[in-house]
Amino acid sequence: MRRMNMTTSQPGTEIGHSWGIRVYYEDTDAGGIVFYANYLKFFERARTEWLRACGIDQNRLADETGVIFIVRSTAVDYRAPARLDDVVKVVSRIERLGRASVDFAQEAWRDGTLLATGSIRVGCVERTALRPAAIPPQVLAALRRGPGVRDGGVSTNAC
């Protein structure tokens, strides 16, 4: 059993976020374990909650700047099963923050047991043309500060 220990190799990668989700019947397969594709849903929800915790409202961001985030690539490694009623904790951190994309490292845990790991690249694109776009500066700043942190007393909800 591997214990939770997320190491970092780049400055700024120590900023992370964790979010819990309970496993429901709809998340399981006929064998009573979480269906493999649902870990991608768990990871998506955790990234969305991280953005919220950073003060980034994705609908408002799209309306005000014309950009949205899309998943460009994923890789998931499954280690142990989660079952009905388990509480899964998804731990996320930024591995790389680029001009138009973000690489996330995500892990799903249950009571100290690593269930799955994921590497997800998210790109920023123009909402209508779906062409790559620069991540707005206020979003970059909010991601660098991390969840719940304010810059000089100013809410990151200004994104």
Instruction: Quote the pLDDT of residue 14.
Output: 53
Q: What average pLDDT values come out for the chain (159 residues) when binned by 10 residues?
A: 37 68 96 96 96 93 96 98 97 96 97 97 97 96 80 35
**Residues of the domain holding 73:** 16-146
Global confidence as pTM: 0.82
Q: Does the active-site annotation cover 57? A: no
User: What CA dihedral angle connects 90, 93, 96 and 101, to 10 degrees?
Assistant: 50
pLDDT given at position 156: 33
CATH number of 76's domain? 3.10.129.10
Residue 153 lies in a domain: no
Distance CA 53, CA 36 (A): 27
Domain count, the chain: 1
pLDDT of residue 148: 72
Q: Of 27, 29, 85, 111, which residue is the catalytic one?
A: 29
Is 116 inside a domain boundary?
yes
Would you say residue 43 lies in a domain?
A: yes
Q: What is the pLDDT of residue 24?
A: 97
Flag whether 151 is in a domain.
no
Does residue 131 sit within a domain?
A: yes
Residue 8 counted as domain residue: no
Q: What pLDDT, on the 0 to 100 scale, is given for residue 100?
A: 97
